[in-house]
Copies of this chain bind each other. A is one copy, B any other.
């Protein structure tokens, strides 16, 4: 006879396969699908969402969860953690009616497709109705979940991406950042050297070959993944079939190679998740901040430091056919660590990136709280960018339409980027202390020891610890500590 817990694992495996199917279809929509397929794809994804929702909301699931929780003492620690994660997924699903799940999926797909064209044509007016519909549905979902969980609506959205996190935590971290970042930015802009000009264009095919070489160096296994092109780089697919995307600009090779490394960091996390818990909730990544910490640890901490540039510089000169000071280690260093007041989040440097996030965090709270209408978003965007970053926004394409997240209904997601940057600094500091002469490895493009350390301390842990802070405590001895990120920035950009 199978136990209630065992029956639940079969149910959640089925759900994970359904979600895995949807993940590949989402990747396809962004990387492969012709524009005329959007309507059909939206309907397909809506049906998959609804079926997953129905699976979780079935009375049998509730009964099995109650039973299994009554027999919790018979379970080992991973199983107990798995049961906790099952309950959390159940709680999120049952808080929403099926109609709303379908409507959210459909509206997100539709808005995302309109956004592709609207962004290209800098036409916010054509996007506004679709986005307003998404906002309206997200607000309903946030209210329903807030009521079910006994928390504020925005906190309920956050908990979808980051269990155990609330707006008060974010405010405390972000207030600290807002205290020192503007002054630090001013100092950096005054004292940083001008990067050397890099006039050569590098063909997209060459950039792609170098990207693949870098992903190989990272240890990314192309037998279990792909690298393709999409408008907005992302990591999708499932753990055994990881779909990375980047984008190529022939005038800006570093602008494709570093995104590829970034997505590679995400991909290594997915690949390193515990295989024995593959289709179970406890086998997933420990929240979106931890996911981002893995991409930023690779991209920012490891690959924008001098050591890695000793590997990258000869590689670019050899495979990329480039030469001159811009491609020497010193020239690359000033380029990959160049700080600027910028328009575009995904192109922003480490210093200004958190300001982009604080900007979005404020706006999404205002939109969801009803203090900002979607039609007023372009103006509020301009105002916030001027205030936080000192930047004039010339158009909506490079303003409030630059990101895909809100289009798809992902409100409450943006803060995890900056929490991830902070966690990356903390994890890298611990790894450097644990791995003697790690920089020698990186200067040879050898990521084996670093990835093994991350594999052991982060990737293989799945969601065992239940929150990013608990995982960080196990891995580094302390919960998220913004002071480490601050010291990292000061040391790297001011040389203090």
Copies of this polypeptide in the complex? 2
A46 to B21: give the CA distance in the assembly, Å.
11
| CB under 8 Å from chain B, chain A span 88-109 | none
Q: How far is the CB of A270 from chain B (nearest CB, A)?
A: 12
Is there a chain B Cβ closer than 8 Å to A345's Cβ?
no
Is there a chain B Cβ closer than 8 Å to A43's Cβ?
yes
| CB under 8 Å from chain B, chain A span 1-35 | 13-14, 17-18, 20-22, 24-25, 28, 32-35
List residues of chain B with CB within 8 A of the CB of A240: 36-37, 39-40
List residues of chain B with CB within 8 A of the CB of A224: 34, 36-37
Check B36–A223 contact: CB distance below 8 A. Answer: yes
Question: What are 9 A-B contacts defined by CB distance under 8 Å?
Answer: A14-B47, A17-B43, A25-B25, A28-B28, A34-B222, A34-B225, A36-B241, A37-B238, A40-B239
Interface residues of A, dominant DSSP: helix
A86 to B35: give the CA distance in the assembly, Å.
30
| CB under 8 Å from chain B, chain A span 185-243 | 221-226, 237-241
Check A18–B34 contact: CB distance below 8 A. Answer: no
Check B24–A28 contact: CB distance below 8 A. Answer: yes
Check B36–A21 contact: CB distance below 8 A. Answer: no
List residues of chain B with CB within 8 A of the CB of A35: 223
Check A47–B17 contact: CB distance below 8 A. Answer: yes
- Interface size of A by CB at 8 A reads 38
Check A40–B222 contact: CB distance below 8 A. Answer: no
A166 to B184: give the CA distance in the assembly, Å.
80
A227 to B40: give the CA distance in the assembly, Å.
18
Given A21-B22, A34-B241, output 20 extra A-B contacts at Cβ < 8 Å: A14-B47, A17-B46, A20-B43, A21-B21, A21-B44, A21-B48, A24-B28, A33-B241, A34-B222, A34-B223, A34-B226, A35-B223, A36-B223, A36-B224, A37-B224, A37-B241, A39-B240, A40-B239, A41-B241, A51-B51
List residues of chain B with CB within 8 A of the CB of A28: 24, 28
Q: How far is the CB of A29 from chain B (nearest CB, A)?
A: 9
Check A44–B32 contact: CB distance below 8 A. Answer: no
List residues of chain B with CB within 8 A of the CB of A46: 17
Q: How far is the CB of A446 from chain B (nearest CB, A)?
A: 23
List residues of chain B with CB within 8 A of the CB of A18: 44, 47-48, 51
A239 to B224: give the CA distance in the assembly, Å.
30
- With A223-B36, A224-B37, A241-B33 as known contacts, state yes or no: A21 contacts B25, CB within 8 Å: yes
List residues of chain B with CB within 8 A of the CB of A13: 43
A80 to B370: give the CA distance in the assembly, Å.
50
List residues of chain B with CB within 8 A of the CB of A237: 37
Q: How far is the CB of A266 from chain B (nearest CB, A)?
A: 16
Q: How far is the CB of A42 from chain B (nearest CB, A)?
A: 10
A44 to B279: give the CA distance in the assembly, Å.
11
A241: which of B40, B45, B279 is its contact (CB, 8 Å)? Answer: B40
